[in-house]
Structure 1
């Protein structure tokens, strides 16, 4: 009888949607259905590149696949344009939850910037309440099908704007009504977290959790500022922490023994040590990182992504899709991509998922229940594998 979970090697027939998942880095305005965009655009008179849903989805993916974060962010002009009314926000949020559930997500945090949804007269509180209504409707619809799901809002402030305190106050007003955390997003280079120091101070004074986009379009200084100024408990992407890791092949180890030339000695710098040793979770979004060029200095293609280095050296790695529309992906797709590239098995995917569950902005008791549910679900997969193995032996 095998003690390993199934999927010990890449299996194109395996349904990754069957795995329970936790999604921590998932943008509301980056997860719309193309058909919904077409319908909402017609209602408000917004011109799209095409009104064919399939072609529109392809346009988003092609436009985002530029290797530039700035170009990637331009694609949001169209999604934001159709998310300016209460009805539209409710619909988009409801469908967002349903799509998460269809992908096997049992807990998700949806991040979005309320300040970007005010062009048709809604207030900041109006838009947060509309999104929460949509999320609640989506959760109820999913539960009616017998599937569990829980979703919380991450209120995001745009780092290039000057509304940090106002958005922080908004998040605090809604903290007991669906909002679980705070984030800053937008163009990272040139707009450090220190610009929003007053907002982060306010959140810290009120014991409110933060995650900060850092280590994506900017390097170690951005990560340090996210930790020091932003008091970040998680890093949005954070992949460029790998710039503070050195690998030396050959040489001698700490005991003076010769090291094989194919074996690398890994040395962590002070920033990498701090992030790893304190378990600051990295919200890694592999496909998005390739699209925006966040990992370009490490090489081309998923095989050069530093995620495996970070995972093997003990960082708290979590996996998320970032923007499912722009990247043409789901969390299941991200899992499959990593399994194919790095020969991960279900034990590895379980660890990524448990890391995410333990890093979720939930009370301890709820995180423990989430971890228990995930472990039980994976254990059932192992039991099914054992039964299949035994059946095969009997037939032999």
Structure 2
């Protein structure tokens, strides 16, 4: 466990809390990673052969793909066979010394694996169990499995993405990431309540619940009968011009929101006549007639280079930026100078990779810094010995091998 100054001169963050991470892929592991960033001791528990999410998006490191590197920074790794009686006993001993357990499984699967709240509560009466399921804890679908795309599809978001010819999935797994964030918040709320009441609880979150939260304004509009949203490409439905535009040498994203900004935009383009057009008297009407405004903006951008567009927009205090490829995003000054990444050394590729673990900055996270995602079982012997197991028992639980993984 990472330490901090007991006198309080150095921020302590979540140090002193022990979190067990039994999650896989994004939502649950990301929840646990956010807690680890703040100083909690987070132990990733997985089978001795390794979990399947270790190889997602491979980059040439055996057992540690790109997704794994991001989701499991600042954690310890315990490789344990929970199906074997001795492995289960070790796990239950570990639960008894932990504050919270984080898992992404539906209710029925939790019970089958004996990872449900009642089973864990038998190990520690005030344990916090945070679970993430696809469909939520209620309803006929509660035990079905699903992923990020499940939330995107069922919330209505896919039908609103693209230009209308067909539904489109977002390129990034925003439902997974947002659910991980909300689960971390919920876990902290439960831990705070336990500090006041002494009681543990089962915290339940879901991918579908997160996705429905994000499309809720559109669902409210639909239910109220005010409008039925349709896919409109890259335009904003609530303001304009807000769209993606081609320049002489690239693409720019421009977003005009608010009456003051719209007046500055009209002055920049020499189109003050648009200020008296009844179609453009407010953000909502500008959003509803955004196609016409985008056409005006597109003509202006097409006559300029990207640099020229952005310079003139900056002078007029109108938000605009380049549209980058992943390769360009790695070296863009906004990203490189923003301090969002830890550059983690690796033994392949360009020599290091950027891990975006400095997005939420607290005094504690700055003190605790960054530790690379662990190799499989890197901390198994240490953790088992701390639970009271002798050398022979540790050897048995780890197959007698040095379970440190491979770089």
Aligning the two structures, in what range does the TM-score lie when normalised by the shorter sequence? under 0.3
TM, length-normalised to structure 1: 0.26
Q: From the two aligned structures, give the one with the greater helix fraction.
A: 1
TM, length-normalised to structure 2: 0.25
Q: Which has the higher contact order (CA 8 A, sep 6+)?
A: 1
